[in-house]
Amino acid sequence: MTEQVQLTRLPNGLTVLTEQMPSLRSATVGVWVRLGSRHEPAEWNGVCHFIEHAVFKGTHRRTALDIAVESDRLGGHFDAYTTHEMTGFALKVVDTAVPAAFDLLSDMLARPRFDEEELRREQRVIIEEMKMVEDTPDEFLAEIFNAAYFPEHPLGRPIEGTPKTVSTFGHERTAVFHASAYAPRNLVVAAAGNVRHQELVELAARAFEDAPPAAGGDAGDGDVPRPAAPILVKRKKELEQAHLIIATPFPSARHADRYAASLLGSVIGGGTSSRLWQRVREERGLAYSVGAVGSHYTDAGVFQIYAGTSPEQLDEVLDISLQELRRVLREPIGEDELQLVKDQSVSSILLGLESTSARAGTLARQEIVHGRRITPEQVIARIEAVTPEDLRRVAAEFFKTESLALAALGDLNGFKVDRARLEV
């Protein structure tokens, strides 16, 4: 793998990163903001997500229709999203359209109009989005569980906010938050594909030259979250399925054990060959959807097992899930099983190298989370170095009875869980 990554930090604090892939005729160019919902005060909950929507509603040069038409004319794929820790906007286009794509992106992010009538319409759209989550049982359970798992912390708040907070985001409040959040020092411009680094540096310098270097503070990560260990059982009798989450703390995105933790999660429930998939779905036929995933924030992590099953089978699915947690604590994971998930992880990395979108996103995320470039070779070497003892050590550190959390949603008449049952 040839390293063709270049980095420039402008005097106003804005970071520009590019990875040149000269054999391609495409490029992904994007702007990432070093803020997400965890950086919002409680009364501003949802504003980062709201601004992500609102910048599409017009600038001082373009109407909302102009933005839509120009995006379609460029012929690429426009992606925008908000997470707990960052906001991203990326546009994939042919290489000759990079200057036009960046002009559209930078105009939207640097000079949004925030028209009052457009904002009111977008408030209604986002409130409908919230209702959609409430009507989707697995997403609704994840949201109420998150609030109980991170009580009184921004990570426990919904990314989209609440109807009460979103309804307050008129022109003045939105513009005030935007002016601080989208200051140059909080922005990372990243591109991958057939791009020219110096050209993008010059485009970025011109696009954001009006913003004063001192505007806005560094995002920071806020208070370190202190996970609770809730047992949350919510009855919703109209549901056909029961939905289950079992969770424990896990290494953060900056923790030295993050690679071992990722592989451990894959062994337990990361794919169709994983232990949970094979036991719950293939051997018993108890669930269509079952698996496990680790979420890694900058200063905290959460490992979650998820399953959707019939209410009368929920006890059996819970018991099997707990058995698998106990199993990794008591029995070493074999070399063959570990090599399987290593191969799976490395293949995912290598396949991602073929995507300009994946490469640009990785550049931006590594800058925001780690403040430095971590090459694919370095990541693969760390993955290959993980041993069965590393996995067992991570399991012993994080899979503890007192820190185990559970949430269940559905027609749960008679379903009971106490701390003794969750003993691992």
Active site residues: 52
Distance CA(249)–CA(257), nearest Å, equals 13
The answer to whether residues 290 and 306 touch, using CB atoms and an 8 Å cutoff, is yes
The answer to whether residues 105 and 97 touch, using CB atoms and an 8 Å cutoff, is no
Give the residue among 244, 192, 182, 219 at the shortest CA–CA distance from 54. 182
Neighbours of 259 (CB within 10 A): 22
Three-class secondary structure of residue 174 per DSSP = helix
The string of DSSP letters for 237-304 reads: TT-SSEEEEEEEEE--TTSTTHHHHHHHHHHHHSSTTSHHIIIIIIIT---SEEEEEEEE-SS-EEEE
For residue 83, give the DSSP letter. -
Element (H, E) at 166: helix 163-166
Residues 6 or more apart whose Cβ sits within 8 Å of residue 63 = none
Q: Residue 179 is encoded by which pair of tokens?
A: 């002016």
Residues 6 or more apart whose Cβ sits within 8 Å of residue 390 = 257, 260
Distance CA(193)–CA(21), nearest Å, equals 4
